[in-house]
Amino acid sequence: MDNRPIKLSEILTHLGEERDHYFQAVAPPIIQTSNFAFKDTASFRAAFLDERSHHLYTRGNNPTTEILRRKLAALEKTEDCLVFSSGAAAMSCGVLANIKHGDHVICIKNPYSWTNKLVSKMLPRFGVDHTFISGEDISEFQRVITTRTRLLILESPNSITYGVQDLEGYAQLCHKHQIVSIIDNTYASPLFQNPVDYGIDLIMHTCSKYLNGHSDVVAGALCGTREMMDKIFASELMTLGSILSPNDASLIIRGIRTLALRMERVSNTALEVARFLESHPKVEQVMHPLLPSFPQHHLARKQMKGAGGLFSFLVKTDSKEAVNKMVDNLKCFLLAVSWGGHESLVLPFSIFHDMPNRQNPPYQFNLIRLYIGLEDADYLISDLEQALEVI
Ligand SMILES: *Cc1c(COP(=O)(O)O)cnc(C)c1O
């Protein structure tokens, strides 16, 4: 089933760990240093000539973060990986590296909120314009490509309504028109979807979700060719300097040890909870990319080996207060943003409606997103059951 060049178990348990260098310690050391010293002027000079392959200063390379980078690159089957202080930093650096003044960007509509801000608010300040596409029909993309289009930003599935894009179709068109493609692959994780298999150039992850998996680190990653990573290292990574600390890298390495276990567990529990909700009379609709009722479930099944713990549902009510009351009645779900940790979460879109001086979000007030953590399905289902009684 696992067609990575290196076995998944090898990546999670050993890859990148050179234990001969640190007393055969099983857990890699946190090389908590900003600076590295040189034996002589010749080796000092050599490091300046090629900082990318030397330890000169931790804004560039650090041995602890290198272990994480090697694991993430192997998980995404790419030549290399760079890590950042957040997923937002990774996406911003991946985008900025591939555009210049006068270029045009095509982006999937309603991407992650800060990707949206980057494309619609920041890039125009630097003379880069954009078109949002639904991503459901590839001909729409062909229609909006211009001679100035340099970049396509995908997010498949997205993390609220799980819209899926035909990765192979988009990658082929991008290659034909010399457009760089970047995807936010956070929803699927590298275990359930490897976009390079379909020809996507750059894969972005926030490690804050599944990769770290314990809700105690904010971090991001970009995976791609050595050439692309060289370019981003020498420019955006080093100039913007939004790097990951060795300490946080070591926490993510620890989290990754159990990635396969956690993904299997949350995927199974989430499907069980989603099926329960789908059969509940007070639920109008469940949005989960692998349920047969999901409009794009064939494409989702073709591209993804699993779906993880995130899904959404619509409560059958026309009262915002009823939604809030139902959510307030939940005892086993924390009311919070983010996801991918050990704990189950609930995010009701009712809270974003009728905010002063703000537009309503493009989602109905009765939409609720659940993240299913590592708890038992029965524990979560009985909590939802009692909370839905108020509807
Ligand atoms: C959380 C998230 C991000 C941003 O990651 P940070 O590490 O919080 O900056 C980007 N994309 C998706 C899909 C996310 O869920």
Ligand 1 atom closest to the CA of 187, numbered from 1: 13
Decide: pTM greater than 0.95.
Answer: yes
- Which protein residue has the closest C-alpha to ligand 1 atom 5? 87
Name which of 37-41, 84-88, 176-180, 360-364 the model is least confident about: 360-364
CA of 83 to the centre of ligand 1 (A): 14
Residues 2, 305: Cα–Cα separation, whole Å: 10
218 Cβ inside 6 Å of ligand 1? yes
Provide the β-strand partners of residue 320: none
pLDDT of residue 14: 97
Q: How sure is the predictor about 210, in pLDDT bands with cuts at 50, 70 and 90?
A: very high
Pocket test for ligand 1, best of 204, 207, 209, 210 (most atoms within 8 A of CB): 209
* pLDDT, tens only, 103-116: 999 999 999 999 99
Ligand 1 atom closest to the CA of 218, numbered from 1: 7
Helix (H) or strand (E) holding 97: none
Mean pLDDT estimate for the chain: 97
* pLDDT, tens only, 225-248: 999 999 999 999 999 999 999 999
SS3 131: strand
pLDDT of residue 19: 97
Please calculate the CA angle 136-144-227 and round it to the nearest 5 degrees: 85
Residue 221 has which token pair?
A: 């990653």
* 195 closest CA partner among 75, 96, 284: 75
**DSSP, res 119:** I
Mean pLDDT on 282-298: 97
pLDDT of residue 39: 98
Residue 3 has pLDDT above 80, yes or no: no
SS3 321: helix
Domain annotation for the chain: domains and CATH numbers: 8-30+62-256 (3.40.640.10), 259-388 (3.90.1150.10)
Percentage, residues of the chain above pLDDT 90: 98
Residue 1 has pLDDT above 70, yes or no: no
Q: How far is it between the farthest Cα atoms of the chain? A: 75
Quickly tell me which residue has 């949206």 as its tokens: 116
